[in-house]
Amino acid sequence: MRVEVDHVSHVYPGPSPRRVLDDVTVELTQRRVGVIGANGSGKSTFLRLMNGLIVPDAGHVRVDGLDTAKDAREVRRRVGFCFTDPDNQIIMPTVAEDVAFGLRKAKLPKDEVAGRVDVLLRRFGLEGHAEHPAHLLSGGQKQLLALASVLITEPDLLIMDEPTTLLDLRNAAEIGRVVGELDQSVLLATHHLYLLESFDRVLVFDGGRIVADDAPGPAIAFYRELMGVA
Amino acid sequence: MNTGTLGLYRPGTSPLHRARAGTKLLGLAALGLGSVFLTTWQTVTAALALVVALYAVAGLPPRTMLRQVRPMLFIVVFVAVFHVWTAGWVRAYEVLGVILLLVLAAALVTLTTPVSAMVDAVVAAAGGLRRFGVDPERLGLILMLGIRCVPLMSTLVAEVREAQSARGTRSLRAFAVPLIVRALREADAMGEALVARGVDD
């Protein structure tokens, strides 16, 4: 999967407009790309460009040649998005129903939907919770549910915006393990730097710009120095 | 967290669980309309006995049934006192009986019907509204989000109350302002998630 970000800038309007991305240009083709940076550095906005949740004020974002501003529907079929807080992403009351929700529009036979849901729930260790209220799961289970709900539509690229921020160390490591086993390309923003150690490439954001673009080791070292915690 | 009258689905294999969602919703609507004819204590008692029996048929214990009406205890007491005072015991029983009957019946439908099946039934029933520009899938989505927001708001209220207690304040403004702000933020985030999941396509 190829993502091209071409001279993209974005400003959040308001009484004091804030430029969150400033002329960012990058091309992503690797299977595992990490995004790190301080709060407010532009990471989340950058991720939201990838499936058209945010359309840039200037520049273009293309996913496999599709412009996110013009082909948002097709882009969203190929790009799944996992948010920081899974509670915002869970729509249906029970676990199995929430995973199946993404297939509503596909109008697939019920048996096929149930089969696909079952496979994903087993894969993420949630098979015993299929009929449970989704909002009563633990934090780690909710994030796994959110992940399963995105993967049911079989996207080619998975965007994850700080999926471990609200989790304890064990659950964060579990999400890291699950992400490592995914077939999809993954673009992951996180403050848990160890999750990126096996990644192909890491982008460091600061002030709306990419200030480092390297393999995990050098990129994380640069970021630590930037933050003054080297 | 109290999700009370939300009456979340309880999986099962009873005849009520197996019945079509549309049939159950139609039955509930018919009961609602028909309740205006329950004007004597005998008919109210018979109808209540029928609904209680249906809970047993569905394999739902009395505890679950009572949990459905517990959140409306305040209203029950208020209505009871008012009617006993103005119209006597018998009338109070008839009015309260009908209210409890409808709440129990509605809860029974949600307890024995997955939300997705209920939404499918509503979407199918609203199919004819397409010619008037109404999108049945949107109606279904509204229903889903309405149900989803009950535990979400319940959690928000609990968290804001906890924060209030921690700061030792009990003012209405200190409760309402953060609650509204957080509810709006949650709504924004959920809207974004819906778009990300292709709901607006």
Domain edges within chain B = 4-113, 136-196
Contacting residues for B132 by C-beta, under 8 A, at least 6 apart? none
The distance of B12 to chain A (nearest Cα, Å) reads 10
B136 close to A (CB below 8 A): no
Which residues in chain A have Cβ-Cβ distances shorter than 8 Å to B6?
A: 93
Q: Which of residues 100-129 of A touch B (CB under 8 A)?
A: 100-102, 104-105
Chain B environment of A80 (Cβ under 8 Å):
196
Contact B9 A94 (CB under 8 A): yes
User: A82 near A161, Cβ under 8 Å?
Assistant: yes
The closest CB to that of A97, out of B115, B189, B192, belongs to B115
Higher pLDDT, B201 or B177: B177
User: Minimal Cα–Cα distance from A150 to chain B, Å?
Assistant: 7
B144 and A CB contact within 8 Å = yes
Domains within chain A, CATH numbers bracketed: 3-88+155-227 (3.40.50.300)
Chain B residues 56-75 with a CB less than 8 Å from chain A? none
CA distance A78 to A154: 8
Using a CB-CB cut-off of 8 Å, the residues of chain A touching B116 are 92, 97, 100-101
Hey, of A45, A76, A99, A117, which one would you mutate to test binding to chain B, going by the most B CBs within 10 A of its CB?
A76
Beta carbons of A135 and B147 less than 8 Å apart: no
pLDDT digits (tens, 9 = 90+) for A163-215: 999 899 888 999 999 999 999 999 999 999 999 999 999 999 999 999 999 99
The reply to whether ipTM tops 0.85 is: no
pLDDT of residue B4: 41
Q: Determine how many CB atoms are found less than 10 A away from the CB of residue A45.
A: 21
Q: Which residue of chain A is at minimal alpha-carbon distance from B10?
A: A131
Question: Quick one: pLDDT at residue A225?
Answer: 95
Residue B3 confidence (pLDDT) above 80? no
Pairing of β A32-37 and β A185-189: parallel
- Cβ–Cβ < 8 Å for A18, A11: yes
pTM: 0.81
The structure tokens listed for B176 are: 């309402």
pLDDT tens digits, A135-169: 889 999 999 999 999 999 999 999 999 999 989 98
Across all residues in chain A, what is the average pLDDT?
A: 93
C-alpha A15/C-alpha B97 separation (Å) is: 56
The model's pLDDT over A108-132, given as tens digits with 9 standing for 90+, comes to: 888 999 999 999 999 999 999 998 8
Q: Which residues pair with A35 in a beta bridge?
A: A189, A203
Please report residues of A whose CB lies closer than 8 A to that of B145.
91
Q: Which long-range contacts (CB under 8 A, 24 or more apart) does A4-7 make?
A: A4/A28, A4/A60, A4/A61, A4/A62, A5/A46, A5/A49, A5/A59, A5/A61, A6/A59, A6/A60, A6/A61, A6/A62, A7/A58, A7/A59, A7/A60
For B58, the token pair is 């569905």
B143-159, pLDDT tens digit by residue?
A: 888 887 887 888 889 99
Please answer yes or no on whether B144 and A92 come within 8 Å at the CB atom.
yes
B151 contact A CB<8A: yes
Above 90 in pLDDT, residue A91?
no
Residue A47 backbone dihedrals phi, psi, to 5 degrees: -65, -40
pLDDT tens by residue, B33-92: 999 999 999 999 999 999 999 999 999 999 999 988 888 888 889 989 999 999 899 999
Query: CB A94 to CB B115 under 8 A?
Result: yes
CB contact, 8 Å: B8 with chain A?
A: yes
Compute the nearest-CA separation of B190 from chain A (Å).
5
Q: How would you classify the pairing of strands A79-82 and A185-189?
A: unpaired
Query: Measured between CB atoms, does A18 come within 8 Å of chain B?
Result: no
Give the model's confidence band at B201: pLDDT under 50 very low, under 70 low, under 90 confident, else very high. low
